[in-house]
Structure 1
Amino acid sequence: MTKKPQMKELNLAFRGNLIQLNKKAITKLVQHHMAHTTWDIMDVHNYHKNGNGWSGIGYNFWIGFDGTIYVGRGFNQGAHCLGYNDTTIGIGYQGHFDKQQMTDAQLKAGIALNAWLIGQLPNVQASDIVGHGDLGNTACPGKNFRMSELKKGVSNGAVEAPNQQVGSETVTNGSIVDYLNSIGKDASFSARKKYATEYGIDNYKGSANQNLELLHKMREGKPKASYIGKRVESKHNGQLRFYNKPSWSDKYVAGYLKEGYGFPDIVDKVKVGKGYQYKVKNSKGHIYYVTASKKYVRVE
């Protein structure tokens, strides 16, 4: 029996009680893409739950760009293939495979997961791996889904753990390069060096550790700007206006700052007209806006 691949359990909150599947009744393993270029498992879970009104994510399992396998509904009835949800397992893959390429890491993870599932389900074999479009009127899982490679890998027993390690300048499968390509960003060394600076990684040389750190930070979201959470105060020799909404209009002036006075917490920086303002919070948690010009304020 194929060894169970590593999976992540996120303890997703579902609405209502899920219905346990009868493993002997399962006849197909249905492969899907979400048809969205960036959404991860939490985005899909929230959309299926709050947008579609379902119990939660419809897929039984989910595979991210980097090959990480997540448990969705597991061996409970899914909501992924109309008319077949009680006799199939649905596997969702991050990405839009009419617009993007399926990553090598996803292929490896898909082979490992489907092979393991076949070992758990007595009436399923490699020929029962199908795309959503084989059972319904849809283009899912997209023209770039690597179905033949997936089936061949499962049939030949070519099962290996998805490579989630990141190499150096010649990074390999499941790497920062794979990830950047999958989301349509420039993956060249010069581009990665720029991203590294934005995410606070100094002296980027493309080492394995630096690439792993960059991949982790980019998957977490936008970089935290250096001014977030810091104090901003007026250095203007006079009264500096602050506002109760992002505006330069007199009618939205909330008050004035004397030199040396300010706000303890910068929340964000926003563009207002041709300039920028800091979105700030005072000690009571009230939100205001003040110029971000270095001519008038300092950040500490």
Structure 2
Amino acid sequence: MYIINSNLDFRELTYGNNPKMIILHHAEASSCSIQDIHSWHLNNGWSGCGYNYFIKKDGSIYKGRPDNAIGAHSLSYNGVSIGVCMEGRFNVEEVGNSQYNSLKELVLYLQNKYNINKIYAHRELNQTDCPGNNFPLSRIKKECLGANSLIESSSKQNKNYPGHLLKYNLNSFDANVKVIQNKLQNIGYSVGSRGVDGYFGDGTLLAVRCFQRDCSLMIDGIVGENTWNRIMRE
């Protein structure tokens, strides 16, 4: 596999990305280059290309934002993911063999490099239809997760809702709060400077509210059955 150095000139970047998942996108453009995307994102006021990699229809792979830089491609997940964008509009086009084969090779490489066993379409995490209805999502997951799919499945078999509301309380330790904090941290929602400590404080409250917002749940900062089950699906 050959990754082309795009030599993009970024504005100031923020570093500290800790990749735990790969998020797949399309450019929503039938014909474009990594330089086009870089220009579009600069015009948005961003540091530059928000994706870490870009794959042309001919299968050529271009380097975008550095892997260790915080991305700009998926709200609330930019600090825990690698963003891969494909040239094309996959609501009206199909992914060709050359492009798909390069995607698969790149995804396998990234999985091995960062020990990643989660692959998502952008639409699975945010309110969007990206990367389009014709994108071969189930195929890439099946072919790339392989044995890791068992790990992913087992990680989602978490304990059931504890039967009581989890809400703001600085004075009481709850092991269920610790479960929630750990899950939120793993999917990119910081629970604050105290970390995963089992106490439902300000950082956890903010993380829960942000998660509820992103998942179109009632934003009350309380972990009831609906919020619990939605977090456990991640």
Which TM-score band applies after superposition, normalised by the shorter structure? 0.5 to 0.7
In proportion to residue count, which structure has more strand? Answer: 1
Q: What is the aligned partner in structure 2 of residue 82 from structure 1?
A: 75
Q: Distance in 2 between matches of 1:12 and 1:152?
A: 33
Q: CA RMSD in A?
A: 1.5
Q: Is the 8 A contact 1:16 1:55 kept in 2?
A: yes
- Residue 17 in 1 paired to residue 13 in 2? yes
- Residue 102 in 1 paired to residue 95 in 2? yes
Q: Which amino acid in the other structure matches residue 71 of structure 1? A: K
Q: What is the aligned partner in structure 1 of residue 4 from structure 2?
A: 8
TM-score, normalised to structure 1, is: 0.47
Q: Distance in 2 between matches of 1:154 and 1:74?
A: 23
- 1:27 CA displacement: 2.0
Q: Is the 8 A contact 1:111 1:151 kept in 2?
A: no
Percent identity, aligned pairs only?
36
TM-score, normalised to structure 2, is: 0.60
- Residue 36 in 1 paired to residue 26 in 2? no
Q: Distance in 1 between matches of 2:66 and 2:132?
A: 23
Residue pairs, 1:132-151, within 5 angstroms: 132-151=122-141
1:262-285 CA distances to partner (integer Å, 9 max, x unpaired)? xxxxxxxxxxxxxxxxxxxxxxxx
Cα–Cα, structure 1 residues 12 and 18, in superposed 2: closer, same or farther, change >3 Å?
A: farther
Higher relative contact order, chain-length normalized (CA < 8 Å, sep 6+): 2
Give the 4+ runs in structure 1 shifted more than 4 A.
none
Q: What is the aligned partner in structure 2 of residue 289 from structure 1?
A: none
Q: What is the aligned partner in structure 1 of residue 50 from structure 2?
A: 58
- 1:74 CA displacement: 2.8
Q: Flag structure 1 segments of 5+ consecutive residues without an equivalent.
A: 158-300
In proportion to residue count, which structure has more helix? Answer: 2
Residue pairs, 1:143-162, within 5 angstroms: 143-156=133-146
Q: What is the aligned partner in structure 1 of residue 152 from structure 2?
A: none
- 1:121 CA displacement: 1.0
- Residue 45 in 1 paired to residue 38 in 2? yes
Q: What is the aligned partner in structure 2 of residue 117 from structure 1?
A: 110
Q: Which amino acid in the other structure matches residue 42 of structure 1? A: Q
SS in 1 for 2:62: strand
Q: Flag structure 2 segments of 5+ consecutive residues without an equivalent.
A: 148-234
Q: What is the aligned partner in structure 2 of residue 272 from structure 1?
A: none
- 1:55 CA displacement: 0.5
Greater CA radius of gyration, 1 or 2? 1
Q: Is the 8 A contact 2:17 2:78 kept in 1?
A: no
